[in-house]
Amino acid sequence: MKYLPLMHNFERKTCLIVGGGKVALRRAKSVLAAGGIVDVIAPTCLPELFDLVHQYKSGQYKNGQYQAEDIDPRYALVIAATNDRQINQAIAQQCKAKNILVNVVDDSSLCDVTFPAIVDRNPILVAISSGSASPQFSKLLRERINTFIPNGYGKLAELFGRYRKRVKSSIPKTKDRAVFWNKVVHSYIAESALSGNLEQAEAQLKGAIDNHEKLEQCGEVYLIGAGPGDPDLLTLRALRLLQQSEVIVYDRLVAPEILNRLEQGKDLIYVGKQRANHSVAQPQINELLIRYASQGRRVARLKGGDPFIFGRGGEEIENLAAHNIPFQVIPGITAANGCASYAGIPLTHRDHAQSVRFVTGQLQNGAVNLNWAELTAADQTLVFYMGLQGLPIICENLIKHGAATNTPAALIEKGTTLQQKVHISTLEELAALLESIEIHAPTLTIVGSVVNLHASLHWFNKSVSS
Ligand code: SAH
């Protein structure tokens, strides 16, 4: 270990920064964020730095060159941030002679202390150092860690902090306390806090402390939208909850890559449904979720797209609520959004469409029953979620109810995946197109003049026919 990592309580301590440029400003912000006071010495100073120094506490700005006597023992830290190497060296020497901690920008050999890259989820703080070998590497790591630490961790830690004493008096043995906190951190209590419901989390935590002997892992269900196909469209929360799930009940439209990315050891249960071939009926799915959650397991119910858009998500959670099983819903990117973006077809556009409708058009006894008059109103985009069967009937009816025969229509197959294809046609010609080419499910159809924008805005489509 090249450095000794310590967290410095800098509250009301004073730091001298020599230099008035961008780096000085960055350092000043860090010191002030930690409750410190900043003095600055520089012949010129960025206005933002000048304001910061005076705005917070009683910092001072000395307009001029640095002098050896400026290094005063009242400083807990001195930062040499000039662009003159000799001055920086002289500052470092003075500090060493006076036993004051010094940080020299861009010269680690002169530093007593360095500024790590940080991930701040106050009060949680992650500091990353590359031992001066590669600041770029620290930045890269910070990006990665930032992505995976939910924003709510700070609030959660703060809540736990407030109850530490109470837990200590209720559970005197250190070992029992460790077991307790470990259970809490993996429980619905933590999930309540992370999903922003702090009041509920606090009430649950109080309940858990009062009944700590009985605090067992309580089963819960996460109804998660997996997005339309590209596995990278999964949200960060979805990924985190999938990682901590023990059972995953998933649909046909869920990208296999998402499941492949998860650690082994989870129970993966396929309940995919295909048209006219319901492999697992909805009541059975409901029953599965209740059964696993009642065993105290964390169950992810993973669905293609968004669970609340043509996904029967509402019915599944009604059922969970009726059985008092805790659940949360994690939205996903719905097929319409995913396909539209990847096909370069904005769903609304000031010159084309002021509203958008998501429509499901399933065939029932050879007919599609929709409110055609509404669907043919002007200045809107229609997105049809469905298989291909009813599509010719839909085009026919739209025309019959007043839509122009040449209204543009885009049929998108396997949207957002590497196999995505976009077929551009019109209401009049779409049926013939379907006859002439081989098409693979799932498909989605976008109707409206926004489709014309595809020609100039697409960047991802594999093939275009018209
Ligand atoms: N809850 C899902 C929709 C489920 S209904 C969502 O929000 O996206 C299933 C229909 O969604 C399919 O018949 C198809 O019309 C559409 N769909 C889903 N994924 C798709 C994809 N990758 N490409 C094209 N259409 C898709």
The reply to whether 206 belongs to the active site is no
- 23-67 pLDDT, tens per residue? 999 999 999 999 999 999 999 999 999 999 988 667 999 999 999
* Distance (Å) from CA 305 to ligand 1 centroid: 6
Atom of ligand 1 minimally distant from the CA of 384: 15
- The fold adopted by the segment(s) 220-333 is Cobalt-precorrin-4 Transmethylase; domain 1 (3.40.1010)
Better pLDDT: 463 or 416: 416
Does residue 141 carry a pLDDT above 70?
yes
Cα(104)–Cα(239) distance, integer angstroms = 41
The reply to whether 96 belongs to the active site is no
Candidates 1.10.3470, 1.10.1740, 1.10.8, 2.60.40; CATH matching 152-214: 1.10.8
* Distance (Å) from CA 162 to ligand 1 centroid: 45
- 379-422 pLDDT, tens per residue? 999 999 987 889 999 999 999 999 999 999 999 999 999 999 99
* Distance (Å) from CA 444 to ligand 1 centroid: 7
CATH of domain 14-115: 3.40.50.720
Q: Of residues 39, 155, 230, 251, which has the active-site annotation?
A: 251
Does residue 271 carry a pLDDT above 60?
yes
Domain ranges of the chain: 14-115, 152-214, 220-333, 336-460
Does residue 212 carry a pLDDT above 90?
no
Better pLDDT: 274 or 106: 106
Q: Of residues 13, 29, 98, 273, which has the active-site annotation?
A: 273
Q: Whose CA is nearest to atom 11 of ligand 1?
A: 385
Mean pLDDT of the chain: 92
* Distance (Å) from CA 391 to ligand 1 centroid: 15
User: Which of 385, 412, 417 for mutating ligand 1's site (highest number of atoms within 8 Å of CB)?
Assistant: 385
Which architecture does CATH list for 336-460?
A: 2-Layer Sandwich (3.30)
Burial level of 204, CB count in 10 A (0-12/13-18/19+)? buried
* Distance (Å) from CA 228 to ligand 1 centroid: 6
| Pocket-forming residues, ligand 1, beta carbon under 6 Å | 228-229, 253, 303-306, 309-311, 334-335, 339, 385-387, 412, 414-416, 442-444
User: Which of 223, 234, 251, 253 for mutating ligand 1's site (highest number of atoms within 8 Å of CB)?
Assistant: 253
pLDDT band at 154 (very low <50, low <70, confident <90, very high): very high
Predicted local confidence at residue 64, as pLDDT: 94
Flag whether the pTM goes above 0.85: no
* Distance (Å) from CA 375 to ligand 1 centroid: 20
Atom of ligand 1 minimally distant from the CA of 417: 22
Q: Whose CA is nearest to atom 6 of ligand 1?
A: 305
